[in-house]
Amino acid sequence: MAVDVLLGLQWGDEGKGKIVDVLTPQYDVIARFQGGPNAGHTLEFNGIKHVLHTIPSGIFHSDKLNIIGNGVVIDPVVLKKEIDKLLAMGVDINKTLLLSRKAHLILPTHRLLDAASEKAKGKSKIGSTLKGIGPTYMDKTGRNGLRVGDTMLPDFQAKYRFLTSKHAELLAFYEFEYDLKALEEEWFAGIESMKKLTFIDSEHYLNKCIQEGKKILAEGAQGSLLDIDFGSYPFVTSSNTITAGACTGLGISPRTIGKVYGIFKAYSTRVGSGPFPTELEDATGEELRKKGNEFGSTTGRPRRCGWLDLPALRYSIMINGVTNLLMMKADVLSGFETIRVCTGYKVNGAVIDHMPFEVCDTPMEPVYIDLPGWAEDLTGLHDVHAIPEALQAYIRFIEAQVNVPVSVLSVGPDRKQTLMLGAL
């Protein structure tokens, strides 16, 4: 089997960018399959930190191909900024970055509609990244969208004007004030920059790669608990963030999927609104945020922090068919005397082991088990035999609870701060 999938099992920001970069040497092609510039994937090596939004996280390996698949939504303004930054660093993206003709475009008016919709929702807002993700996927499923390949067609301008005039009506309905001129200027500059890239029919391209025996890693964005179908709706993103999304977002058959790498933080975070059963709105939550530097890579917003939620993790593992777990940010838990893990939720006096349908409105109290913490600083850890006993016990406990091995342990943001616990 030729396509392995790597995705987040929580509410995003699990550390996908770092791990894709670490695993890239084992692959020929890295392919992003959904989401857009709502994502912020961080990589660190040689003392430099990079945040990618649209471009796959294998881009720093000059001998690998990176593909932006049809399931991704692209804002040409953000893409241009990413490209310019990489070119300035000497990364020759012209040779290694390919873009699906079928990927949909985020228009300036999609961003405005995102903002208008959130404003209208008031207190019940999703907490969207305001990148235009929801409105763009709405136009995709509504059969109104513009795609990357459309930019090469003679009627592109006319199609653009037609769609923006529809958006103008909606924005008037929202009574949302805006100035489109400057936004359009930078958008069309972005389109020109994008047109210098190589456009492909990524489904044909990737299936040919599979036939040739090339190894592909599909890179997810967001996390399974933000999935449009299986997340805490409506506090979700607008795409399928799960393994199935790799098939629709790249045009590959489910039979080609090999391993499914599920990434999770050793605790939990969430940015934006919506249910978060193990959230800690106290000094411990603050300590996690501070030690983990839990501020959004895309928006800079403080992330909500809490303990690990096993029922939620088990659910994500089930939906995705996870074969290997990768535990991130274990270093952040150093120094906590006790580490709590949620094993179920108390709802109306009874303990349940899954999130109920009305997860947004049901009062839920997490049921915890307390495990001993460890004091050792892990950030310099390179030898698996030197992993503190309490951390080993924490890992074994999680493995026993979810029945999937933890194959990778991450103890810092740098590439090198990664321990292989088992074969991948």
Burial class (CB in 10 A: 0-12, 13-18, 19+), 29: buried
Per CB under 5 A, contacts with Mg ion among 289-308 are 297
**Strand boundaries in 203-274, DSSP class E:** 216-223, 257-265, 268-270
Per CB under 5 A, contacts with Mg ion among 8-37 are 13
How many residues lie near ligand GDP (CB under 6 A)? 22
34, 100, 129, 343: which one binds ligand IMO (CB under 6 A): 129
- For Mg ion, the closer of residues 66 and 151 by Cβ is 66
Q: Going residue by residue from 131 to 150, which x/- string records binding to ligand IMO, judged by CB under 6 A? A: x-xx----------------
Residue nearest ligand GDP, CB atom distance: 42
**Strand boundaries in 320-378, DSSP class E:** 324-328, 338-347, 350-352, 365-372
- N- to C-terminal Cα separation, the chain: 14
Identify how many contiguous H helices and E strands the chain contains and give both numbers.
12, 20
- For ligand GDP, the closer of residues 44 and 279 by Cβ is 44
Minimum distance, C-beta of residue 125 to ligand GDP, in the bound complex (Å): 21
Residue 240 within binding range of ligand IMO, rule CB under 6 A: no
Q: Output the CA–CA distances (angstroms, integers) from residue 158 to 151, 153, 163, 164, 209, in the order listed.
A: 11, 10, 9, 10, 36
Residue 311 within binding range of ligand GDP, rule CB under 6 A: no
Nearest of 342, 360, 361, 337 to residue 352 by alpha carbon: 342
Residue 132 within binding range of Mg ion, rule CB under 5 A: no
40, 76, 311, 366: which one binds Mg ion (CB under 5 A): 40
Mark whether 13 is an active-site residue.
yes
What distance in Å separates the CA atoms of residue 262 and residue 264, rounded to the nearest whole number?
7
Residue 3: enclosing H or E segment and its boundaries? strand 3-8
Catalytic residue among 21, 41, 110, 227: 41
Q: Which residue shows structure tokens 């857009």?
A: 36
Residue 328 within binding range of ligand GDP, rule CB under 6 A: yes
**Which of ligand IMO, ligand GDP, Mg ion, none lies near 128, with the C-beta cut-off 5 to 8 A by kind?**
ligand IMO
106, 226, 228, 411: which one binds ligand IMO (CB under 6 A): 226
**Which of ligand GDP, Mg ion, ligand IMO, none lies near 65, with the C-beta cut-off 5 to 8 A by kind?**
none
